Amino acid sequence: MSISRRKFLGWMGGASLVAAGARKAHAAANRSFEGYAGSLAVLHDITRCIGCRRCEAGCNAVNELPQPEKPFDDLTVLEKRRRTSAPAYTVVNRFAPAGDGQPPVFVKKQCNHCLEPACASACFVKAFTKTPQGAVIYNPNVCVGCRYCMIACPFEIPAYEYDKALDPRVTKCTLCHPRILEGKLPGCVEACPTEALVFGPRDELIRMARDRMRAHPGRYLDHIYGEHEMGGTSWLYLSGQPFETLGMREDLGTAPAGQLTSGALGAVPMVVGLWPVLLTGIWAITQRKEKIAAHEQAQAVAAARAETEAQAEVRLKTALEKAAKENAAAVAREVKKALETAKTAPQGESDTEKKS
Amino acid sequence: MDNIHTLQEFMLHTKNIIYILILLALAAFPLFWRFLNGRDKE
Amino acid sequence: MTSPQTTTGPGRLLTPFNLVAGIIVVFGMIITILRFTGGLASVTNLSDDNPWGLWIGFDLLVGVALAAGGYVTSAAVYIFGLKRFHAAVRPAILTGFLGYALVVLALHYDVGRPWRLPYPFVVSAGTTSLLFEVAACVALYLTVLFIEFSPAALEWLGLKRARHLVTRLTLVLTILGVVLSTLHQSSLGALFLIVPAKLHPLWYTPYLPIYFFITSTIAGLSMVICESALSHRYFHGKMDAAHLSGNRDLTLGFGKAASWVLLGYFVIKVIGIAADNQWHYLGTGFGAWYLVELLGFVALPAFMYAVGVREKNITIIRWTAAWTVLGIVVNRFNVCLVAFNWHLPAEQRYFPHWMEIGISVFIVTLGILVFRFIVTRMPILHAHPDYDAH
C-alpha cells in the first residue's frame, strides 16, 4: 500500500510538472546509493537479551548523563513501557509474548542510525550527519530547536530538553561516535553480559544474522529488522517474536525519507521557473485586452463623431442646396416679374432693371 | 561525485545548486522582460 | 457611526474592548516571561512524542493560510486585471503583512533558540528540508509584503518620492508574492510527506502540498470577505466611497471565486482517497471525522457560497466565509494535531496547555491592536487625498 504511494511522486497537477517531479525521483532512484563501504553497525539479538539494563547503565556512564531516580538494577522500571528521553539515550522494554508460560521478551531501544536518516533529511540547518563510520551525529551548535527531526523520525527516537529556557538541545544516541573513533566499543555493547549486542561492519553483521538463522532453525523469524526498513539502518535486530508485538513497526516501508520528499522538493524550482512566465503572460494578455478595449472605444468614439459630422455635413449641404434652389427660384421669379413689368412699363424702367 | 555515498548527500548537493539557480532565475526574469520589451515604444 | 469600541479619541481609552485587550496583553507578557525563563516545559504540554503543538498547528499553519488574502487579492487586481476590486488590495496586504509578522513572532516562542532563526541562510543551509523552503519563502515574503504595504505608510508620512519608487515595483512584487506563496503554502503541507507512518492515511497523501496550496487560496478569499465585513462594521467612518460601494461587489465576486475553488478542492480530495485506495478508513471513527471535514467544511460552504451568489445575499456569503475560515482551522488542526500520531494510545496524545492557548490569543490580540492602530491613521480603507486610487 504505502510503497505504491511512495513511488507516486508527481504531486503537481500540471502534466509537465508531474513529469518533472517524477524524473527527479527517478534520477535519485536510478543512482543507487550504497552508503559508506564498511560502515559499522550493531546487531541486537533479541532472543539473547535478559533485560538486565546494564546497557542502559553503560550508556548513562559513558555519555555522562544524569543519574535516574531509580537505579539501573531496579527492574521494576520494566513494568512500564518507556521511550528514549533527554536523560536516557537508550531504554529496555519488556514484552509478554502471546500464549501462556512463555518467558518475557526484552528489547533495547535507541537511535537506529539510519543509512538515510529522516532527521538529517528534515533538518533545515544540517545539524544531523551520517558519518562514514556509521553513526548519525547531532551538532547542537547550529540547532535552532524547531523539533522537525522529532516529527520526521519514524522510530520516535530524538528527545528534547523541554525544561531548558535558552539552550535546549535535541538528544539521542550517538552510537558512541567519539569512542568508535578511538577504536572502542559503544558503551552499551561493552556493558552487555550476554552478547545480545554485537558491534561490527554492517555487511558482516547481516551475514552473521543469516548464519544464526541457519544454525538455529525455529529460533528466529526470517526477518532482519533494519536491513531494509526506511532504506536500512545501522542497528539490526533478530527476533523469535513478530517485531510488531515488540513495539517495532513493520509498516514503515523500505523507501528512505529523502524519497518521500523528493517529489515536492523537485516541484519547487518548477514553480520558480514557470510561475513568473505564466503570471507575466496573463498580465500581458489582460494589459493587451485593456489596450485593445481602450483603442476600440476610442475608435468607436471617433467613428461616431465622424458619422455625426458627416450627417451634419449632409444636412448642411442639403440645406444649402435647398437654400440655393430657393434662391434661384426666387431670382427667377423676380426676373420673371421684372420682365413682365418691363413689358408694360416705359423704356427707362427697363434700363434700371438691367442695371440691378 | 566520488564523495557522494548516500541519497541524503546527493540531495543536499543537488538542492544547494538548485537554490542558487532559483535566485539567479528570480533576478533574470525581470531583467530579460525589460530586454524583451525594450524596443516597444508606446 | 463608528462603533464605540473603536473611536479611540484620547479621552476614550477605557472602552470594554481596550480593557479586555489590555488584560490579554498583560497575561501574554507574564506567559512570555515564563516561557523564556522556564523553557517550553513550564508553559506547554509538548512532549517527546508530540514535539509540535498549538503554536505550530495554529500560529504557523493556520496563521500562514489565513494571511493568504494578500497574494490572492493583489494577484486578482494587478495580474488578472480585476480592477474593480482595487479598494480591497490595501486592507488585504495589511492583514497579510501583519499575519506573517505574527507568525514569525509566534515562532520565537516555539523554537528553542529563536535568535538562530536566520541560521539556515547564514550559517548552515539544510536544503534537503522542506522546512528550509518554508523558512526561506516566509522570510522573503514577509519582506515583499512589507514593501507592498509601505506606500500606505509613506503616504501617511508624506514621503512622495519614496512612495513613487515603490509603486513602480507593484507588478514585480505581486508576481514574486504569488511565486513565494505558492511555494511555502504548499511546502507547509509537504512538511508532512516525511511522516507516512505517523499521519492517518486519510490525511496522508502525496497530494498534501497541492491541498495546502488550494486551501490557502480558499482561505485568502474567505478572509478578505470576513475582513471587509468587519471593517465595514467597525471602521465604517474610515472608509471612503470607493470602499463602501465596492464592498458588495467584492463580496459577490470573491464569494463566487471561493465557491468554484472549493468545488475543485472537493474533487481532488475525493480523488486523493481513490488514489491510495483508502475508502475502507471512511467507516472508522477517523473516517467519520474526515467526512465532517470533507462534507461539512468543503462541500457545504461550496454550496452555500453558490446560494449566496445566486441570491445576491451578502449575509449568506459572509457567514459562509466565516464557516470556511473555521474549516481551514479544522483542516490544519487535523493534519498537524488530530490525525498526527493517531497510532499512539490516548494518554500519549497531545492537548494544548491553557498557557499555549494564552499565547496564541495574545498574539492574535496584538494583531488586532496593530491593525486598528494602522487603519485609524494610514490610508488603508480610504484613498489618500493626494493620490488617485489608480
Most confident of A321-325, C80-84, C236-240, C308-312: C308-312
Q: Do B7 and A28 touch (CB under 8 A)?
A: yes
Find, in chain A, the residue whose alpha carbon is nearest to that of B26. A272
- Which residues of chain B are at the C interface, by a Cβ-Cβ cutoff of 8 Å? 8, 11-12, 15-16, 18-19, 26, 30
Contact A349, A342 (CB under 8 A): yes
State how far residue C132 is from chain A, nearest Cα, in angstroms: 5
Q: Do B6 and A272 touch (CB under 8 A)?
A: no
pLDDT value for B22: 95
List CB contacts (< 8 A) between A148 and chain C: 129, 131, 191
Give the orientation angle of helix C314-333 with respect to helix C208-234, to 10 degrees. 140
State how far residue C339 is from chain B, nearest Cα, in angstroms: 28
Please state the rounded mean pLDDT for residues C281-285.
95
Reduced to 3 states (helix: H, G, I; strand: E, B; else coil), residue C99 is: helix
pLDDT value for C295: 97
Residue C13 predicted with pLDDT over 90: no
State how far residue B18 is from chain C, nearest Cα, in angstroms: 9
Which grid coordinates are listed for A12? 503537481
List CB contacts (< 8 A) between C123 and chain A: 125, 142
Give the whole-angstrom CA distance, residue A257 versus residue C157: 51
Kindly give, in sequence order, each residue whose CB lies less than 8 Å from that of residue A237, ignoring residues fewer than 6 positions away. A43, A44, A45, A46, A107, A224, A225, A226, A243, A248
Contact A256, A230 (CB under 8 A): yes
State how far residue A256 is from chain C, nearest Cα, in angstroms: 9
Q: Do A272 and B25 touch (CB under 8 A)?
A: yes
Angstrom CA distances, A20 to A17, A28, A74, C378, stand at 5, 13, 57, 46
Q: Do C128 and B26 touch (CB under 8 A)?
A: no
Residue C388 predicted with pLDDT over 50: yes
Please state the rounded mean pLDDT for residues C57-68.
96
Please state the rounded mean pLDDT for residues C339-367.
95
- Closest partner residue to C127 (CB to CB) among B12, B26, B30 is B12
pLDDT value for C385: 79
- Closest partner residue to C172 (CB to CB) among B11, B12, B30 is B30
Residues in chain C, overall count = 390
Question: Could you give all domains of chain C from N- to C-terminal order, each with its CATH number?
Answer: 19-375 (1.20.1630.10)
pLDDT value for B42: 56
State how far residue B31 is from chain C, nearest Cα, in angstroms: 11
List CB contacts (< 8 A) between C122 and chain B: none
Find, in chain B, the residue whose alpha carbon is nearest to that of A39. B5
pLDDT value for C138: 96
Confidence category of residue A12, pLDDT binned at 50, 70, 90? very low
List CB contacts (< 8 A) between A269 and chain B: 18, 21-22, 25
Q: What is the pLDDT of residues C222-231, one digit of tens each?
A: 999 999 999 8
Find, in chain C, the residue whose alpha carbon is nearest to that of A247. C344
pLDDT value for A62: 96
Q: What is the pLDDT of residues C138-177, one digit of tens each?
A: 999 999 999 999 999 999 888 888 898 898 899 999 999 9
List CB contacts (< 8 A) between C44 and chain A: 162
Interface probe, candidates C124, C127, C129, chain B, greatest B C-beta count within 10 A:
C127
Confidence category of residue A8, pLDDT binned at 50, 70, 90? very low
Contact A152, A266 (CB under 8 A): no
Kindly give, in sequence order, each residue whose CB lies less than 8 Å from that of residue A156, ignoring residues fewer than 6 positions away. A83, A84, A150, C48, C49
List CB contacts (< 8 A) between B11 and chain A: 28, 121, 258, 262, 265
User: What's the Rg (C-alpha) of chain A?
Assistant: 47
DSSP string computed for B1-40:
-TT--SHHHHHHHHHHHHHHHHHHHHHHHHHHHHHHTTT-
pLDDT value for C10: 47
Q: What is the pLDDT of residues A15-45, one digit of tens each?
A: 333 333 333 333 445 677 888 988 999 999 9
Which grid coordinates are listed for A6? 511512495
pLDDT value for B18: 96
State how far residue C305 is from chain A, nearest Cα, in angstroms: 25
Q: CA-based angle A81:A180:A196, to the nearest 5?
A: 40
Contact A17, A278 (CB under 8 A): no
pLDDT value for A99: 75
Please state the rounded mean pLDDT for residues C4-27.
75
Q: Does C198 touch chain A (CB under 8 A)?
A: yes
Please state the rounded mean pLDDT for residues A176-182.
95
Please state the rounded mean pLDDT for residues A177-181.
95
Please state the rounded mean pLDDT for residues C338-358.
95
**Chains within contact range of chain C (3+ C-beta pairs < 8 Å):** A, B
Contact C138, C104 (CB under 8 A): yes
Q: CA-based angle A88:C193:A134, to the nearest 5?
A: 45
List CB contacts (< 8 A) between C126 and chain B: 12
> Which of A131-135, A184-188, A194-198, C375-379 is predicted with the least confidence, judged by mean pLDDT?
C375-379
**Chains within contact range of chain A (3+ C-beta pairs < 8 Å):** B, C
pLDDT value for A7: 34
For residue A73, the tally of other CB atoms under 10 A from its CB is 10
Checking phi first, is residue A158 left (phi over 0); if not, alpha (psi -120 to 50) or beta?
beta
Mean pLDDT of chain C: 92
Cβ burial C303-314 (10 Å sphere, 16+ → b, else e): ebbbebbeeebb
Find, in chain B, the residue whose alpha carbon is nearest to that of C169. B30
Rounded to a whole number, what is the distance in angstroms from the first to the last CA of chain B? 52
List CB contacts (< 8 A) between A260 and chain B: none
Q: A235-238 and A40-45 as β-strands: parallel, antiparallel, unpaired?
A: parallel
Find, in chain C, the residue whose alpha carbon is nearest to that of B31. C172
State how far residue C1 is from chain B, nearest Cα, in angstroms: 46
Q: CA-based angle C24:C28:C32, to the nearest 5?
A: 175
Contact A265, C130 (CB under 8 A): yes
Kindly give, in sequence order, each residue whose CB lies less than 8 Å from that of residue C153, ignoring residues fewer than 6 positions away. C378
Q: What is the pLDDT of residues A213-262, one digit of tens each?
A: 999 999 999 999 999 999 999 999 999 999 999 999 999 999 999 999 99
Angstrom CA distances, C204 to C63, C209, C330, C342, stand at 21, 10, 16, 12
List CB contacts (< 8 A) between B26 and chain C: 176, 179
Q: What percent of chain C has pLDDT over 90?
A: 81
Please give the backbone phi and psi of residue C119, each rounded to the nearest 5 degrees, phi first: -50, -40
pLDDT value for C344: 94
Please state the rounded mean pLDDT for residues A155-177.
96
Confidence category of residue A107, pLDDT binned at 50, 70, 90? very high
Contact C381, C234 (CB under 8 A): no
List CB contacts (< 8 A) between B1 and chain A: none
Global ipTM = 0.91
For residue B14, the tally of other CB atoms under 10 A from its CB is 19
State how far residue A275 is from chain C, nearest Cα, in angstroms: 6
**Predicted TM-score of the model (pTM):** 0.88
Give the whole-angstrom CA distance, residue C69 versus residue C321: 12
Give the whole-angstrom CA distance, residue C86 versus residue C83: 5
Kindly give, in sequence order, each residue whose CB lies less than 8 Å from that of residue A196, ignoring residues fewer than 6 positions away. A44, A45, A46, A48, A49, A50, A108
Interface of A with B in 19-78 (CB under 8 A): 28, 31, 33-37
List CB contacts (< 8 A) between A33 and chain C: none
Reduced to 3 states (helix: H, G, I; strand: E, B; else coil), residue C340 is: strand
Rounded to a whole number, what is the distance in angstroms from the first to the last CA of chain C? 28
Checking phi first, is residue C362 left (phi over 0); if not, alpha (psi -120 to 50) or beta?
alpha
Q: Give me the helices (H) in C276-353, please.
A: 285-291, 300-311, 314-333
List CB contacts (< 8 A) between B22 and chain A: 268-269, 272
Residue C324 predicted with pLDDT over 50: yes
Q: What is the side-by-side strand order in the sheet with A40-45?
A: A197-201, A40-45, A235-238
Contact C38, A161 (CB under 8 A): no
State how far residue B23 is from chain A, nearest Cα, in angstroms: 9
Angstrom CA distances, A344 to A16, A330, A341, A352, C337, stand at 107, 21, 5, 14, 124
Size of interface A-C (CB pairs under 8 A): 196
Please state the rounded mean pLDDT for residues A63-77.
93
Residues in chain B, overall count = 42
Residue C366 predicted with pLDDT over 70: yes
